[in-house]
Amino acid sequence: MTLTEHETETLLRESLERRATRAPDGHEVRNALARAGQRRPRARFALVGVTAAVVAIFAGVAIGAQVLTSSEEPAPTPEAVAAGLVLGYTPGWLPDGYTEQYRETGPGTTPQIRRWFGDTGEVVLSAYSTADPEWSQTALRIASIQDQTLVHGRVGMVTGATGTTALLTWTPDDRHVLTAQVTGVPDARVVAQRIAESVTSKPVAIHGELRFGPLPAFLRPLSTAAYGTSPGDGASEIHAYDPVRPGVPVLHASVSANAPTIGAAPIRVRGLDGFFLAGDDAMVTVRLPSGRWLTLTGKQPRETLIAIADAMQVDPAPDYRWIGRKDS
C-alpha cells in the first residue's frame, strides 16, 4: 500500500508520541539534575529519578562555534559492548555553553539517548534501530515528506520546526535512525542541521554504579542511564520491563547521594537497615556503606523488591568524568 504524505506524517507523529511516553522528559531531567547538584547539610527525603522522554520548551540562548574534542574519554571496553552500554554516535559541534548531563542506552533495540543542557535550552541526540518496528519504515516516511534536507548526502527530514525548536531525522545507514532535537535555541533548524552534519560514529560508554543481578522470570533488563551536572553529583539508574509490554519500564533502580523516602517502614535489605514505602509503585531504599542511597521502585510485592535489591551489583568505581563536560 502506498502512503500519502498526510498518512506518512501521521504515522511518524504517532510513532514519536509513543516513543515520547517511554523516554526522559526534559523538565524532569533538568529538575533532577538541579536537585542532584544541590549541596545539603544533611540528607533530605526527596525522590531523585529520571525515567521518560519528551523535550521541554525553553527560552532562547546565544549560539557560538564550539568545536568538541574527545581525547579524554577512553574507548568503550569489550565488557561495555557486550552489556549493551555503548552509545554509537557523537556530535562534533554544539552551541556554546552546552554540557552533556545525561546518557541512556541498553541491549538490543533500546534507544540511545544523549542530552546536553545550556542555560535555557537543550540538545538531544537519539539513535534508534530499524529492527524496531516503530522505526523500520523511517526511510519511506522521509522520502514522502516535503520538508527534506541532506545529512552527509543522505536524505533526512525536518519536523516541528519553529524559531527555537526543530527535530531533524535521518538514516546514517540501513540499520539506524538518528534524531537531533533542538529546543529553546534561536535558529533551531540551522543549529540542528549543523549538529547533524557534525555527528560521527564515535562510540562512548556508560559506566554507572548499578547492574541487575538475577531477576524474576517475568522481568528483563531494559536500559541504563547516568546523569548529573558534574562528576561530583553523578547518579545512575537502571530499568527493567515485562516482556508482555516490551519497551515499557516497570522497575526502576537508582544510586545517588540523596535519600529518597518519607514515612517508610524499617526493613532489612542487603544486610543493612533500609526502608519500605508501600504504594502503587512500592519502594525499597537503603543507605550503602559508601554513604550513597540505593532505591528500587516498581509494582512488585515487598519481598520481591527486597530480593531484587539484595541481588543487585553496585560498582564502587563508576566513571562520571564526562558529566558536565563541554566536549564529548
Q: What is the DSSP string of 223-245?
A: EEEEE-SSGGG-EEEEEEE-TTS
Residue 137 CA from chain centroid, whole number: 23
3-state secondary structure 74-115: CCCCHHHHHCCCEECCECCEECCCCEEEEEEECCCCCCEEEE
Predicted confidence at residue 66, as pLDDT, reads 46
Predicted confidence at residue 3, as pLDDT, reads 42
- The beta strand positions in the chain, using DSSP E, are 66-67, 86-87, 93-94, 99-105, 112-117, 122-129, 148-151, 154-159, 165-173, 176-183, 204-205, 210-211, 220-227, 235-241, 249-256, 265-269, 272-277, 282-287, 293-298, 313-314
Confidence bin at 328 (pLDDT 50/70/90): low
Predicted confidence at residue 74, as pLDDT, reads 82
52: pLDDT strictly greater than 90: no
pLDDT mean over 307-322:
95
Q: What percent of the chain has pLDDT over 90?
A: 66
Predicted confidence at residue 263, as pLDDT, reads 82
What are φ and ψ of residue 265, in 5° steps?
A: -90, 140
Q: How far apart are CA 250 and CA 219, in angstroms?
A: 9
Predicted confidence at residue 72, as pLDDT, reads 65
244: pLDDT strictly greater than 90: no
Cell matching residue 29:
531531567
pLDDT mean over 228-246:
92
Q: Which tops the pLDDT comparison, 29 or 229?
A: 229
What are φ and ψ of residue 255, in 5° steps?
A: -130, 125
155: pLDDT strictly greater than 70: yes
Confidence bin at 274 (pLDDT 50/70/90): very high
pLDDT mean over 147-173:
95
pLDDT digits (tens, 9 = 90+) for 164-198: 999 999 999 999 999 999 999 999 999 999 999 99
Q: 116, 123 in Cβ contact below 8 A?
A: yes
Confidence bin at 23 (pLDDT 50/70/90): very low
Predicted confidence at residue 246, as pLDDT, reads 75
Q: How far apart are CA 212 and CA 217, in angstroms?
A: 13
| Cβ atoms < 10 Å from Cβ of 246 | 12
On whether the 5-205 domain is CATH 3.30.200.100, my answer is yes
Half-sphere exposure of 256 (CA within 13 A, CB side): 35
pLDDT digits (tens, 9 = 90+) for 95-140: 999 999 999 999 999 999 999 999 889 999 999 999 999 999 999 9
What are φ and ψ of residue 2, in 5° steps?
A: -90, 130
Confidence bin at 314 (pLDDT 50/70/90): very high
pLDDT mean over 18-30:
48
Q: 252, 237 in Cβ contact below 8 A?
A: yes
Q: Measuring CA to CA, how many Å separate 277 from each of 263, 295, 309?
A: 7, 11, 14
Lowest average pLDDT, out of 54-68, 219-233, 276-290, goes to 54-68
Residues near 109 by beta carbon (within 8 Å), at least 6 away in sequence = 128, 129, 131, 132
24: pLDDT strictly greater than 80: no
Q: Residue 57 carries which DSSP code? A: P
203: pLDDT strictly greater than 50: yes
Confidence bin at 73 (pLDDT 50/70/90): confident
Which string of DSSP letters, residue by residue, matches 32-46?
HHHHHH---SS--B-
CATH topology agreement for domains 5-205 and 210-314: yes
Residues near 6 by beta carbon (within 8 Å), at least 6 away in sequence = none
Confidence bin at 56 (pLDDT 50/70/90): very low
In CATH terms, 210-314 corresponds, of 3.90.1150.10, 3.30.200.100, 3.60.20.10, 3.40.50.2300, to 3.30.200.100
Q: Measuring CA to CA, how many Å separate 185 from each of 62, 65, 66, 129, 242?
A: 7, 14, 15, 28, 38
Q: What is the mean pLDDT of the chain?
A: 82
Query: Which stretch of DSSP H or E encloses residue 144?
Result: helix 138-144
Residue ranges per domain, the chain? 5-205, 210-314
Predicted confidence at residue 84, as pLDDT, reads 87
